[in-house]
Amino acid sequence: MKTTYVSLIKFTDQGVRAIAQSPKRAAAFRKRAKAAGVKVLSQLWTCGSCDGILILEGSNETKILSVLVQLTAAGNVRTKTLRAFDAAAFANITGS
């Protein structure tokens, strides 16, 4: 069973100072995530209250959370992470 998470990204002061490197850091994150068995379904930069969004999928919640911990430990971003469900999974949860 696949597990999906959505992470809302906010740059730290350090991340803002090195904002031009953000695409390179994002590519490195995708590579680390893949090596850990986590698929990056979407990686977007946004305007507004968040600076970006990650949508991650994996067979194990621990793997996903581990790559997010590594991401935040680098000091460029903070995350707010949400467990996400597709329609079939949500129907199973609600018994509908």
The rounded percent of the chain whose pLDDT value lies above 90 is 96
**Confidence at residue 96, expressed as pLDDT on a 0 to 100 scale:** 86
Domain spans in the chain, listed from the N-terminal domain onward: 3-85
pTM for the model? 0.91
Residue 1 in this model has a pLDDT that exceeds 80? no
Instruction: Domain 3-85: state its class.
Output: alpha beta
Q: Quick one: tokens of 43?
A: 């990686």
Give 21's DSSP letter: G
Q: Assign 15 a pLDDT band (cuts: 50, 70, 90).
A: very high
pLDDT tens for each residue of 35-76: 999 999 999 999 999 999 999 999 989 999 999 999 999 999
Residues 32/78, Cβ–Cβ less than 8 Å: no
